[in-house]
Amino acid sequence: MESAAKTPKSLTLPWTTRITLWLLDIGLNLIMRKDGTVNRGLLKLVPLTPPSSEPINGVKTYDVVVDPTRKLWFRVFVPTQYTVEDLPVMVFCHGSGYIVASADTQLYDDFCRKFARELHVIVVSVDYRLAPEHRHPAQHEDGLDVLKFLDVEENRSKWLPGNANISKCFIAGDSAGGNMAHHVAVRASQFNFQQLQVQYILTLFETSPRSSVAKERMVVGLVSIQPFFGGEERIGSEIRLNGTAPVLTLKQTDWFWNAFLPLGEPYNRDHPVVNVSGRYAVDISKIDLPPTIVVVAGFDILRDWQIRYYEWLKKSGKEVNLVDYPNMFHGFNLLPELSESDQLILEVKDFIHNVLNKVFTALIRILKQMTLSVPLL
Please confirm, yes or no, whether 52 is among the known catalytic residues: no
Catalytic residue among 96, 102, 125, 175: 175
Catalytic residue among 136, 182, 271, 330: 330
Burial class (CB in 10 A: 0-12, 13-18, 19+), 178: buried
Please confirm, yes or no, whether 300 is among the known catalytic residues: yes
Burial 123-136 (b: 16+ CB within 10 A, else e): bbbbbbebbbebbb
| DSSP calls for 232-289 | SS--HHHHHHTTTSSS--HHHHHHHHHHHSPSSTT-STTSTTTSTTSTT----TTS-P
Catalytic residue among 109, 127, 288, 300: 300
- Compute the distance between CA of residue 370 and CA of residue 168 in angstroms, rounded to an integer: 23
Whether the CB-CB separation of 172 and 92 falls below 8 Å is answered with yes
Please confirm, yes or no, whether 304 is among the known catalytic residues: no
Q: Give the pairing of strands 198-203 and 164-174.
A: unpaired
Whether the CB-CB separation of 144 and 191 falls below 8 Å is answered with yes
CA 312 to chain centre: 17
| DSSP calls for 143-209 | HHHHHHHHHSHHHHHHHS-TTEEEEEEEEEEETHHHHHHHHHHHHHTTS--SSS-EEEEEE-TTT-T
Among all residues, which ones are annotated catalytic? Answer: 175, 300, 330
